[in-house]
Structure 1
């Protein structure tokens, strides 16, 4: 398995005036990996991207690309010397240049024959050979996005940064281009970091995702682990659907809840009878008409192939469950349910 580290972000801090925007953020990007920085507005994810690109100085910490120092508290390599490409939210295409010339812009110092080969290759890669002579205003949003990607790839950067490049597109086009851009990056073998506030977008795009909150990196992990193995309450609540259900520890592996005793392979060292909160995802809740716990449907959200139900337990606690849409229950219906939790995740209650 490849373990070569391309980018190393080590305990970086960034400030705007006296306000710390990033505080001790660390993560690695391996060669060929596609990663995401995810989080709510104001969490510091765009500042982290700007620091990597060379537009934001560091108060402390270091950023290195391979063996090359990019930034520390006293040094900042110029952006154009970093071998890093960037795709902006508004694409920033030059309106007076054709598609082909926009792609050519960053490689104009290369021999003309080499320029032509690179432009032709990238036009083929983004499947826009037939409109190479058009101008940006003649393109759709999706076409502009692909041209911006090709222009960023033309100088063969070691790392590509994408600052919410899909946010101006409609939902269906965003989903399509998200996967398309990922496929293009994998085909050319370029490592990338995407900044987004949309976790569905991050899950589809990233090999690894970093979740930021209040300038601190909460967890840097695979999409699977972020969902099933969140490291703290913020990650558990922010990622995916579901919620925290009150319980009481029995021993290291078992927790008693209103939905019965939940058992997992994770060990907790809390004393018996410690109050805890257990993470319950919609896929943890199943129907058990004969021996289940009674619950009442209080909300439903239909999404085509499945319906997300919010269910109220006898104590008033709420859980969510995702059932195939051909099971059509109404608000007010009573359902007998049980929990089948494969990943038992629990936290001490907030003080």
Structure 2
């Protein structure tokens, strides 16, 4: 597979800029999750990379070969890109095997070139090749769509929100199967998604597109622990934001003096704590940090394996925070609890 290099990519529609000079690199064999809210420009970027739309400026190189540049637009069929759409888009009148070989030369189509190998790669038995697409579940159809994309040995795989139409349990199973198949094929892939958990669990790296600009590209752990803006912190999972004062590598706020992941200088800041960092202490338990706070449980959203707990701090400001706790430790509204914060937090300067 190949590496992808994007430099200064621009696109407008009817005079309205959609992409503002994007720069992005995807190393060979990497699965990059392209994450962003609706309207951020994800689909436009995908269409430019696949050659479905013409760029207004900038360049795109795939494995050192330029496919977008000044007065250059290589047609889609010459870019050797595999494309997996949202709902698989298999041909209902063709068998699974014929769907997989659809884009191959005629002699390879007749020989059903690599069908058994590709089905095995995506975790399906070889005899599925004789079935019609409508005989498969939604997740199985998505795996077949991936096998079809891999069949011509493309230089790059583009996945356009391929799990969005699946139910929760099937979504997780299919994600794992697709990630395993891409890794086994050594594929370079770009997964377009608006699902944060999907991006964090599948991507080797995650690039966040926000209002047509790439605002952060990082590993999932760095992105989650050190988002570059307050808005991004709230988009990537839940975030508790409290006013505070930073000094060197620590910040003081309603939850005490907390260690920072990275220094932000001195002065007024907003301190960002993830809800799972707020621990509710047992009656016989003391905080590891020594900083404990009394709180009143005002609301509980029980979600099975865990619960989201709204807490009012019993301090002068009566600040509200939200903790995430294991479901079996879920308190009841009206209970008085003690809490403590674990781990390092992130702060954003107010200057």
The TM-score with structure 2 as length reference comes to: 0.91
Give the whole-Å Cα distance in 2 for the aligned partners of 1:85 and 1:341: 42
Going from structure 1 to structure 2, the CA distance change for 1:267 and 1:60 (only over 3 Å counts) comes to same
1:253-332 alignment, distance < 5 Å = 253-264=249-260, 266-270=262-266, 274-288=267-281, 292-313=292-313, 314=315, 315-332=317-334
CA distance in 2 between partners of 1:5 and 1:331 (Å): 54
Q: Secondary structure at the match of 1:172?
A: helix
- After TM superposition, the structure 1 stretch with the greater mean CA deviation from structure 2, 98-107 or 292-301, is 292-301
Kept after mapping to 1: 8 A contact 2:297/2:332: yes
Secondary structure at the aligned position of 2:166 is classed as: coil
Change (3 A) 1:178 1:247: same
Verify the 8 A CA contact 1:161 1:193 in the aligned structure 2: yes
- Partner SS, residue 179 of structure 1: helix
Q: Distance in 1 between matches of 2:16 and 2:61?
A: 24
Stretches of structure 1 that go unaligned for 5 or more consecutive residues are none
Matched residue SS, 2:270: strand
1:14 and 2:11 aligned: yes
Paired residues, what number?
Answer: 341
- Tell me, in whole angstroms, the C-alpha distance in 2 between the residues paired with 1:265 and 1:21: 33
Deviation at 1:112, TM superposition (A): 6.2
Q: Using the alignment, how far apart are the partners of 2:280 and 2:135 within structure 1?
A: 53
How does 1:154-233 map onto structure 2 within 5 Å? 154-233=151-230
Quote the Cα distance in structure 2 between the aligned partners of 1:243 and 1:20.
Answer: 33
Q: What is residue 27 of structure 2 aligned with on the other side? A: 30
**Structural mapping, 1:242-253, within 5 Å:** 242-249=239-246, 251-253=247-249
Task: State which of 119, 122, 125 in structure 1 corresponds to 2:121.
Answer: 125
Query: What is the aligned-residue RMSD (CA, Å)?
Result: 2.0
Kept in 2: contact 1:13–1:61 (CA 8 A)? yes
Q: Do residues 346 (structure 1) and 347 (structure 2) align?
A: yes
Is the Cα–Cα contact under 8 Å of residues 244 and 277 in structure 1 kept in the other structure?
yes
CA contact (8 A) 1:39 1:211 kept: yes
| Structure 2: gaps (5+ residues) | none
Question: Quick one: distance in 2 between partners of 1:323 and 1:199?
Answer: 20
Give 1:117 deviation, angstroms: 4.0
The corresponding residue for 1:336 is: 338
Aligned-partner Cα distance in 1 for 2:81–2:155: 6
- Could you say if the C-alpha distance between residues 110 and 269 of structure 1 is closer, same or farther in structure 2, counting changes exceeding 3 Å? farther
Structure 1 length-normalised TM: 0.91
